[in-house]
Every structure is written in structure tokens, then in C-alpha cells.
Amino acid sequence: MHAICRWDVAMADTQENFTSTIVDQPKGGLYSGSISTVGLDPNVKSELMDYRWTTSFNGSQPATVMTYAFPTSAADYSSIAGGYPDTQELAQFAPLTQTQMDAVRTALGLVASYTNLVFREVTSGLASEATLRFAQFTDTGSESRFPANSGPYASSDSRVAGDTWLGGNGQAPAAYFGTDALNTIMHEMGHAFGLKHGHDGSFNGALAPQFNDNEFSVMSYASYFGANTAGSTEAIAGSSPQSYMMFDIAALQELYGANFSKVGTTDVYKWDPVTGQETINGVPAPNTGASSTGKIFSTVWTAGATVTYDLSAFNEDQVDDLRPGQWLTFSKAQIADLNNEAVAGTAQYQAQGNIYNALLYHGDARSLVSNIITGNGSDKITGNDGNNVISAGAGNDWISGGNGNDIISGGAGADTIIFGSGRNILRDKLADLQGDTVYGFGKTGTLDILDARYDPAAVHSTKTADGAMLTIGSVSFELKGDYAGGDFMSPVRKVGGTTHMDISFVNYTPSLSEGSPVAKGAVNGIADEDFLMGDGDASFTMHMESAGSAYANTLGYYFVGDDGRISNVHLAYTNTLASGNAQKAIALGTPGPDQHIGFFLVQNGHNVFGDLPDDLMFVSADGSGAANVDSGAAPILVSASRGVLTGATVFHSYDELNPGHDIHVLSGTETGGDVLEIGFEDLASAIADNDFQDVVISIHATYQDVMFA
């Protein structure tokens, strides 16, 4: 049958009893104010009617605390100066059922999880106490009132603003997730916050056709693409959205800010293959529940947590995209059916995905999904611009890491791996590499072979038209890239008590001379970061090769933990120009498992500070604790005996810590060599000669590391 239309504030008949519109009175202590939508994504703008709840009349400060109530009597509405304008609704008043109240609380919880709004339930249903009020009436549809305004789209009186009346299509059953009733409640509540219909192009435009359905917005009347939006359409029972969707979330955040309260936490999301129930860290996720048909259909806002989608319970061929505004399809049986007038499973009327990723808030990457684990199908996985950990099970997978520093495991099967622009690692057991092809491996990729160490004689490299075919024993795989002018380097380390080996391509160190800039393409930072990784066994030694600067630089090193924290800061050379440094070897120690060695140069440090004591540490830019490479902020150099050291610029081998995040080291090796050479540039990039020969060092490891052309 045809779905019942949601009649609400955008429809003409909602204003039928208004004689004059009052807009300057508070409702539950809040007022309304306008908001500019200039420059917004057109699809986000299409959901905004340009008013929101504020702390003062016509104010610019959005509400952060909002009260709501479930009135028990019509007198709660009529007890207001001037009377209640919506007399028809008042005459039909009935309180909500317990299930309806639970569904309203769920929807409010969802809004709070996306925004900076905090909701407080009050017992009084008076307008002076509650900004949002919810009740039933006997109409077939439901309606809600915008924040008070006399604007051009749809005016709203202060006495009714924020009031929602649920009719026949708002009768929530006990299992209300995935029902049209919950969809109706979220839709009507959206109006109460200041959202308009996304399908209505009469003000601020409409959603683009490819976004105009409930996959992308509950504020559209179209449950499926191409639906007639003269009235609302409805999904098959259990297949309506279980949350607000991406453009709703983005629009709400434009009004009330974005919730990043989970920054610094870790969340693992899973979905049940039968019920569809979403869990976070093993417990049912807040504001979620199973639909009556086990469908999975919602949008995830991470709130800044480091999020892993664990989809290992689903062994069909998945198509998963971690980018904002994209979606993941991992359970076809649990795909929503969006048209209740079509047979279930009709492809034309099915959702494109199970789970959708929210959009970024003003480009803030903290809400990116970080990691994904898939099952044993032949999956297609697309990463985003963050640092992703992508783990695919068995199957012939296609994996594109995107930008960022990614760690990818293809698992068993002949996988196709595409590295993006960051420093990427393919991490697998040797047998799982059989038949793999890695594109973009080049000079920034690393292959991490687990639980294995191989004699150099067992490792063979054959040049191909656009890369190299590597064979280790009976296993062959291809690394696509430009390998002219360098060697593959294969450090051997232990992880968790087992030996593993890494393969990276390292340029031959370019010829360095004073005042001769190095070609931009050769400025590569640390080419083989795993060469500098410890395992609690391997020891490292540093040798000064040359110092060609006019500055008396100070050079030091430190350990960087798996969590990015900097520790064990030590000086190597207090004055790199001092006589005898070229013959001086420095023992760097034995980093623990998953610790890396980093280096720093204090520009003209000896002339600025003299002979520094070896009691240094790096603290975070805000002084709150140990510095962290992942912070992306330049740390502060501190001496335990002399305090904060200011007056000299510090450059690091980690470009994230440098001014402007500029690269101040290049690295390479020699033909047939087994060391990593590192050259420092000791001037800021904007004024540097970029000759990278100001300090040149070489690093030796105690293990026999494999080199092969």
C-alpha cells in the first residue's frame, strides 16, 4: 500500500490557526537565531532552513543544552500567554506510548552522538520548561515545528516551536529499529532542530539526484531513488534507516557543532550476521537495536575514536570503502529493501550498502575510519586519506590504501595491492604472497614478511617491464615501480619472539656537495624505516661520514615507541664540526620490539648552547608530557639540568615534527652496501640550499641484512 505522507511544517496546512506569529519568546529557556549557509556543500545546504536554537533571541551562540518533555495533558500546551495556536492538534492530544518515548530517546541520543548538544528530560510539559515536546494526535501523518522564526522558508511561532505531534505513521512497535515509525520520528525531530526537506528545492536547493533517498537522508520523502516526493514512500518493514544518515548528520553539525568526544579512544565495530545488531567493543552500541528482518542500514560517526570495522564474520565478496561519504557492502542478505511496493530483493530498490561513513566536519580528519578487517571472500577494499590498517582474509582481494601511511595484509590468495602516496607496508606470511601484485611499491613501500628469515641466496629479483618479480623459495610476487638507481634492502628483525624480514627499495645515495641542491625527487626522508626498527636484539651503530656546514650543529638520536612517544633522547655529537668526529662511532643501543630510531639536529647548537649535557628530553608542544611523533606538532627540547632550550631550530628525521612538516633528511645506500646513509639539511626549506650534506651519517645494524639488486 502507499506510505502515509509525513505532513509537517513545510506543508501549508500547518499554519492554519495562526493569527500572528510570535518569534521572540523563549521555549525551555532557548530562542532562535539565523545561520549563514554560504559556501556549504549544496547537499548539506539543501537540508537547512537557516534557523537554529540559540541561547539568546537572534543570537549567534548555538544551544548546547536542550530540555525535552513528554506532556501528559493538553493543559501543558494551552497554559501559555496568548494560548496555543495549533488548536486542532491540541483537540486531538494524547500522550506518547512508552515505546514511542523510547524511540524518541533513541533519536535524541543519536543527535547527541553527532553534535555538541546535550539533552535533559524534564517532567514538566510547559513551554517554559521544555524546548522540545512530543505527543500524539489522531491524524494519519505526523508533524513538527521549526525553531521560531519569521524567515522566508517557513515561519514558526515561539509557542509551538520544537513541538512534535506523532500521528499514524509514528506508531512505533516494540522492535522499532528499521521501521518507518522510527524514520518518521527522526524526520520530524529533524524539523524541530532546524532541518528542512532535502527533496524540496524551493529553498536552499534540493539533494542531488544521486543522494535523494533515505540512504543519504531521512529528511527526504524518497525512500528509494526516483520515488515521487509529492508524498513520502516507505521501505519494506525492517529496511528503513536505523540512524540519521550522512547529510542529516552534516546538517545537524552545521547547526550545533560536531562531537569529537572520543578522540584518544579505540572502538571496534561489529555487526551480527543474523540479527544485524551493531556492537562496539563487544557490547551493543548505544542507540542501536536489531531490526525485525535483521537488516543493517545506518551511518557511522566515529566522534574521533580510532575505529576498526571488524567484518571478519562475513565471508562473501565484500565491497568496502572507508572514505567519508562512501559505504560498505558486506552482507547482501542484510541489504535494506527501500520500496515496500516491490518484491524484497529487487535490485533496483535496494540500498547500495550496509554501512555508510559520515562526511568530515569542515575537513577535520579526526572522524575518519582507521582500520578494517574482512572475511574470506574476494574483497574490494578502498582506504581513505588516513593511516589505515587493512586486513583481508583469504580470497583474491583488491586493496587500494589511498593516501596516508597504510599497513595492508592481503591474506591468502592472489591479491592486488595498490599503494598510495604515503609510506606503506604490505605485511603477510610468505605463503600468502604467492601471486600477489603490488602497484606503487617504488621508493616508499615496504614488504614485511612475517615469521621468516631467508638466506640471501634464496632471494631472487627479476626485472619486469614496469617493476620487479621477486622469488623466495617457491613463492613469487611482483612489485610494480621504478627501481633504477638503487637496491632492495631486507633487514631482519624479530617481532613477538619470531624472526621476520622486510624488503624495501633504497636509492643509492646521491652525490652530495656544498651548495649543490639535490633533485627534489631524491629527497625521500628515511627510505627504509624498518631498517631502523628494533626488536630487543639488534644493536645499532652510527658513524659520522662528513659535515659540510658552516654551522657547528648538534646531532642526537632517540627511540620512538609503537605509540609514537619519544624516549631515550641522547646526544651523539655536540659539535659536528669538531676534529675527529669522522672517526668516532656512536653506539645507539638496542631498541625494544617495535621501537624505531629517530634523529635530530640542533641548528648551530654548539655555538648557541655550548657542550650540552646528555640529559635531554623532548616534551609535547603544550608541555603536557613526552613528545609524540603522531601529534604532528614540533616538540620542545628540554635539558633536565638547564631547563627549556630555546634560541635554536631543531630538525628531525620525522618530517611531521619539522617546521612546515618539511623533509630535512634524505637517505640511501651504496652499491652492495649493508648500511643506511642519512644526510641532513640544516636550513629551513624556504631559504635552504637543499644540498643535504650538512651532516651525513651511516647506520649499521648487528644483523646480517640482505641486499639484492
The answer, yes or no, to whether residue 12 has pLDDT greater than 70, is no
- Give me 104's grid cell: 524518541
Mean pLDDT estimate for the chain: 92
Q: Are strands 437-439 and 416-418 parallel, antiparallel or unpaired?
A: parallel
pLDDT at 20: 64
Query: Which residues of the chain does CATH 3.40.390.10 include?
Result: 31-254
Segment 566-578 shows an average pLDDT of: 95
The answer, yes or no, to whether residue 305 has pLDDT greater than 80, is yes
Instruction: Place 9 in a pLDDT band, splitting at 50, 70 and 90.
Output: very low
Maximum C-alpha span of the chain: 96
CB 479 within 8 A of CB 502: no
Residue 445 sits at the vertex; the CA angle it makes with 444 and 449, to the nearest 5 degrees, is 150
Please provide the distance, in angstroms rounded to a whole number, between the alpha carbons at the two ends of the chain. 70
Q: Which helix (H) or strand (E) holds 91?
A: helix 87-91
What CA–CA distance (Å, rounded) separates 352 from 225?
11
CB 70 within 8 A of CB 135: yes
| Type of residue at 473 | G
pLDDT at 582: 67
- Give me 213's grid cell: 533517498
The answer, yes or no, to whether residue 132 has pLDDT greater than 80, is yes
pLDDT at 11: 38
CA distances from 292 to 177, 223, 329, 331, 465 (A): 8, 18, 20, 16, 55
CB 695 within 8 A of CB 447: no
pLDDT at 370: 98
Instruction: Place 110 in a pLDDT band, splitting at 50, 70 and 90.
Output: very high
> pLDDT tens across 608-623, in order?
999 999 999 999 999 9
What CA–CA distance (Å, rounded) separates 376 from 311?
10
- Give me 420's grid cell: 598510495
CB 558 within 8 A of CB 521: no
Domain 374-507 has CATH 3.30.9.10: no
> pLDDT tens across 182-209, in order?
999 999 999 999 999 999 999 999 999 9
CA dihedral 137→138→140→145, nearest 10 degrees, is: -20
Closest CA to 54 of 43, 69, 65, 44: 65
Instruction: Place 498 in a pLDDT band, splitting at 50, 70 and 90.
Output: low
What CA–CA distance (Å, rounded) separates 539 from 111?
53
Closest CA to 259 of 357, 366, 355, 187: 366
Closest CA to 184 of 172, 175, 194: 172
pLDDT at 150: 95
Contacts of 215 (CB under 8 A, 6+ apart): 241, 245, 327, 338, 351, 352, 353, 356
pLDDT at 10: 39
| Type of residue at 708 | F
Relative orientation angle of helices 246-256 and 180-193, to the nearest 10 degrees: 30
pLDDT at 460: 86
pLDDT at 496: 61
The answer, yes or no, to whether residue 706 has pLDDT greater than 80, is no
The answer, yes or no, to whether residue 416 has pLDDT greater than 60, is yes
Q: What is the pTM of this model?
A: 0.88
Instruction: Place 707 in a pLDDT band, splitting at 50, 70 and 90.
Output: low
Question: Using the 8-state DSSP alphabet, how is residue 247 labeled?
Answer: H
pLDDT at 514: 84
Domain 31-254 has CATH 3.40.390.10: yes
The answer, yes or no, to whether residue 329 has pLDDT greater than 90, is yes
> pLDDT tens across 541-550, in order?
999 999 989 9
pLDDT at 495: 64
Closest CA to 242 of 114, 356, 101: 356
The answer, yes or no, to whether residue 405 has pLDDT greater than 70, is yes
- Beta pairing partners, 698: 543, 677
Which of 48-57, 132-141, 201-210, 623-632 has the lowest average pLDDT?
A: 623-632
> pLDDT tens across 229-283, in order?
999 999 999 999 999 999 999 999 999 999 999 999 999 999 999 999 999 999 9
Q: Which helix (H) or strand (E) holds 248?
A: helix 246-256
Chain centroid offset of residue 12 CA? 41
pLDDT at 219: 98
Query: Which residues of the chain does CATH 2.150.10.10 include?
Result: 374-507
Closest CA to 542 of 574, 597, 586, 491: 586
CB 124 within 8 A of CB 93: no
Q: Are strands 445-450 and 498-507 parallel, antiparallel or unpaired?
A: antiparallel
Instruction: Place 13 in a pLDDT band, splitting at 50, 70 and 90.
Output: very low
The answer, yes or no, to whether residue 8 has pLDDT greater than 70, is no
Instruction: Place 565 in a pLDDT band, splitting at 50, 70 and 90.
Output: very high
Which of 26-35, 365-374, 545-554, 664-673 has the lowest average pLDDT?
A: 664-673
Q: Which helix (H) or strand (E) holds 471?
A: strand 467-472
pLDDT at 233: 97
- 3-class DSSP state of 205: coil
The answer, yes or no, to whether residue 7 has pLDDT greater than 90, is no
Contacts of 344 (CB under 8 A, 6+ apart): 236, 337
What CA–CA distance (Å, rounded) separates 477 from 490?
16
The answer, yes or no, to whether residue 414 has pLDDT greater than 80, is yes
Segment 293-308 shows an average pLDDT of: 99
Segment 680-701 shows an average pLDDT of: 92
